Amino acid sequence: MKKVVSIVCLMAGIGFALASTGNLMADEEKPLIQIAILLDTSNSMDGLINQARTQLWRIVNEFATAKREGKEPELQVALYEYGNDRLPREKGYVRQVLPLTTDLDKVSEGLFSLKTFGGEEYCGYVIKDAVENLNWSKSDSALKIIVIAGNEPFTQGPVDYKEACKAAINKGIIVNTIFCGPYADGANTGWKDGATLADGKYMNIDQEKQQVQIEAPQDKEIQKLGAELNKTYVPFGKRGREGKLKQEEMDEKLKEAAPAAAVERQAAKASKHYDASSWDLVDAVKKGEVKLEDVKDEDLPEEMRKMSLEEKKRYIEEKAKERERLQAEIKKQNAEREKYIAEEMKKLGEKEDSFGAALIKAVREQAEKKNFKFEEKK
């Protein structure tokens, strides 16, 4: 009897081990990059916020070329604001605007919602909040990064930044710091030390510097293709209308804020990081999150309600094919655009000094240490 029990236990143990291995392999199927952006929204930070708004899509495009062992990563972004007197004092003047999400339109919307006011900038407090309250991956292979930007001493507030940064790196979360002002000023007020404690990179930028805007010959065509791309999205359910309106609203806001950023947004929408599966039927079906036969007619757009199931499937397949065609053409146009802009920047002798450039430089170096490979721009 004991032998039988032992064999059963042994087999159960082997089964558990195999199941655990299977789960681990499933987790490893898709590499993961998690970035939490912590922005100072005190009075003097309008320039920083504008840079973050207009450069989000450029950051996304940079990581759209990243792969590890031939696999494209999932990109999750979280957003915090701190140092704003409109926020509750008892919460350290800190607010989680968004948890880690793949919905980049929400991130863009969150950035446009930020308003500057007042100023008690508690860097240690906001880092501690992000470390403790975001859903960070437990996998050692995931790239987990905090990027904090501001212009006041890193030492302010009731939470010791040293303890907060040590707690971050103990969880495998790197902390990069971006000081808005002279390099020496940030280094002398704790910003460099904070990055060093959490294996990060310390950088400085001029948040008020006007960034060079280069109009490329491909811009109009990319915008035109982007408008056509929007027509391939099929809103469904309660979130459908909201998601579609948000997509169009972010397009318009970026056009008003910076024409170059609007083009970069269209390029980002052609990448796999742009995920609309929470409201778009094409993405939801493709990812296996929704079965067409399970979607009620009243949750579909008007033109699909009288279709048979086969007609619905054909309609979604056609939209998916058209999207792939447009995305391929946008990628081709954008590659030529990036080459043109790089050449023009060289002619101007311009060195970029911006939030986006600093973030990309730091995170790219850290991603490469995690065995991510980036497509070399020709």
Domain boundaries, the chain: 31-210+353-374, 219-348
**What DSSP state is assigned to residue 331?**
H
Region 359-378: mean pLDDT is: 85
pLDDT at 6 over 70: no
pLDDT tens digits along 29-78: 689 999 999 999 998 899 999 999 989 998 888 888 889 988 989 999 99
**CATH value of 31-210+353-374 in 3.40.50.410, 3.40.630.10, 3.30.750.24, 3.40.1410.10:** 3.40.50.410
Give the gyration radius of the chain's Cα atoms. Answer: 23
Q: Which two tokens stand for residue 291?
A: 């079965």
Closest CA to 61 of 104, 32, 28, 22: 104
Three-state secondary-structure class, residue 373: strand
pLDDT at 219 over 90: yes
Upper half-sphere CA count for residue 302 (Cβ side, 13 Å) = 0
Closest CA to 203 of 188, 185, 189, 183: 183
pLDDT tens digits along 259-295: 899 999 999 999 989 999 999 999 999 999 999 999 9
CA torsion angle 296 298 300 305 (round to 10) = 90
pLDDT for residue 38: 95
For residues 78 and 96, the answer to whether their CB atoms sit within 8 Å is: yes
pLDDT for residue 325: 97
pTM here is: 0.85
Write down the H helix ranges in 114-182. Answer: 123-133, 161-170
pLDDT for residue 79: 96
pLDDT at 162 over 50: yes
Region 238-253: mean pLDDT is: 93
Q: Average per-residue pLDDT in the chain?
A: 88
pLDDT for residue 221: 96
Per-residue pLDDT band at 378 (split at 50, 70, 90): low
pLDDT for residue 352: 66
Write down the H helix ranges in 349-376. Answer: 355-369
Question: How many angstroms separate the first and last alpha carbons of the chain?
Answer: 70
Q: Which two tokens stand for residue 26?
A: 């499933």
pLDDT at 318 over 70: yes
